[in-house]
Amino acid sequence: MDNIEGAREAALKRLKDKRDFKSHVATYLIVNALLVVIWAVSGQGYFWPIWPILGWGIGLALNAWTAYFQKPISEDDIRREMERGV
């Protein structure tokens, strides 16, 4: 029964991470679109919105890695780490 509960908690965490990532993407798109509009309305010139787009984009990429590609910690991982620390 304990394994089922642990698997459920891990699945719930992955689902939450994915939902949070989708919210992060929506916020990223809205805010950066607004910055581009401000740039366009203010006379254009040097495209300064590239800096927040790139900087935030790096954070967004790391968030995507965590939500979709990072393996969950397994019992074997925990056991190996405990043995290494002894």
Q: What is the pLDDT of residues 13-32, one digit of tens each?
A: 889 999 999 999 999 999 99
Residue 45 lies in a domain: yes
Residue 8 lies in a domain: no
pLDDT, mean of residues 34-38: 97
Residue 6 lies in a domain: no
CB count in 10 Å sphere of residue 68: 11
* CA separation for the pair 14, 20 (Å, rounded): 10
Name the residue range of residue 74's domain.
18-80
Residue 1 lies in a domain: no
Q: Residue 83 above 90 pLDDT?
A: no
Indicate the SS3 state at residue 53.
Answer: helix
pLDDT for 76 equals 83
Domain count, the chain: 1
pLDDT for 61 equals 96
